[in-house]
A and B are shown apart, each in its own frame.
Chain A
Amino acid sequence: MRIADTLLRRGHLSEDALVAAWYSGVCPAHLDTCDLCTERALDVSRWLEQTRELGMAEADAAFPAERLAAQQAQILRRLEQLDRPSKLLSFPRVAAATAGHHDFASREHRHFAGWILAAAAAGLILGVIGGRLSTWQPTAPAVHTSAAATAPRTPKAPDTLRSLDQGADLLLESDPGQPQIRSLSAIDRMTPQGTVVRASNRRR
């Protein structure tokens, strides 16, 4: 028995001593002789038992078997991830250089890729040319003439245009460089000249 118990508690055991007895499992001799301390020891023991049960039950309720199994699976997953060597992704060109890129497969691959590029370029060029050709419109004069046909006719051409026409006719009729074909000269003589026709039209 401790001195403090002897002096302060008239020989009775302190609560700490009762707790220590419960934890150690060693029963103090005083408990055999003192009913009061035995009663207190039982009370402490009951309280400690209940608290332990409650505490364990609380933890077990928060972590049922399913949750523990899930936790174990999670632990194993994490360990597996740690054990797996990490992958380093290197830059492709560097990787090729380090791998000694003279193997047959890589050469074949590059050759094939070259052909694909050439075909794509040719296709592009052909496409551009085809596009240009399809947009080129040989019917543009026809469109112009049709537009002229649909447009309202002016009764008289302007003077400047008329004089230009006359000049062109004169040039055609008196072109010295024009080849003179004898067989056609008779027909030429029979055909009235443009200037004459125009002059007669004017007189009318």
Chain B
Amino acid sequence: MAEASPTPLTTREADACVAIDVKAHQAAGRLDAARERFTELVDRHQRRAIRIAFHYLREAADADEAVQDAFVKSYLHLGTFREDLPFEVWFTRILINGCLDRLKARRRRERWIAPPPVDTMGVERDPAEYLPSRGPSPEELVLLGERREQLSVALGKLPERQRLIFTLSHFDGQTSREVSAMTGLNESTVRVHLFRAIRRLRSLLAPGASHVKSRGSRRAHR
């Protein structure tokens, strides 16, 4: 008689299991085992965390550090995590708070430090852009790069809150309820910000909107 195979765990359940294990290992002083188990959580959430941080902060180096900090913080404070709530939401909240702190610090810094050098087109030049790359043809790359840059500039023109909500809803695929839990905003407020963000982006990226292409600082790919 064949045994019924156990139903596969959902991401949320799997996260909760890992979190419980990590906590138990930490409490027992088996720190190597705790770290090893925690790697599963890093594996599962790293990609989406970096997307959120990258789109929110608009700077790769900052996003990198923000994600690292968020994982370290979540490991340190895993004791305060309640397994009845999704780890994803708890972790994203930590990440967003870290990103917000970085944005504030950046604003303070930019008040005193001169902006980075830009080329004649007003675009910040990145040495990595001059390196040879693999993949699609140069024409495709140019077109893709142009479209990405337009989107990047347009996203940069959104107010921070709209950008965050758009990032979480659109790039991360969260529902307005989940975004509400992550940001602490009202669900209807989340929806309003999302619609406003989309309207603004559509107007900025419309074929006739040349002002998006010409200006804006490009910080990505650093």
Contact = CB atoms under 8 A, between A and B. Distances in A.
Contacts of B175: 23
A184 B205 CA distance: 141
A75 B68 CA distance: 6
Interface in B116-150: 144, 147-148
Given A54-B147, A56-B51, A75 B170 contact: no
B35 A76 contact: yes
Q: Do most interface residues of chain A lie in helix, strand or loop, or is the interface mixed?
A: helix
Interface string B185-221: 0000001001100110110010000000000000011
Contact of A23 (B50, B63, B167, B169): B169
B87 interface: no
A203 interface: no
B218 to A, nearest CB: 11
Interface residues of B, number: 44
Q: Do most interface residues of chain B lie in helix, strand or loop, or is the interface mixed?
A: helix
B170 A72 contact: no
Contacts of B17: none
Nearest to A85: B31
Interface of A: 15-16, 19-20, 23, 47-48, 51-52, 54-63, 67-68, 71-72, 74-76, 78-80, 82-83
Interface of B: 31, 34-35, 38-39, 42-43, 46-47, 50-51, 54-55, 60, 63-64, 67-68, 71-72, 75-76, 144, 147-148, 151-152, 155, 167, 169-171, 175-176, 191, 194-195, 198-199, 201-202, 205, 220-221
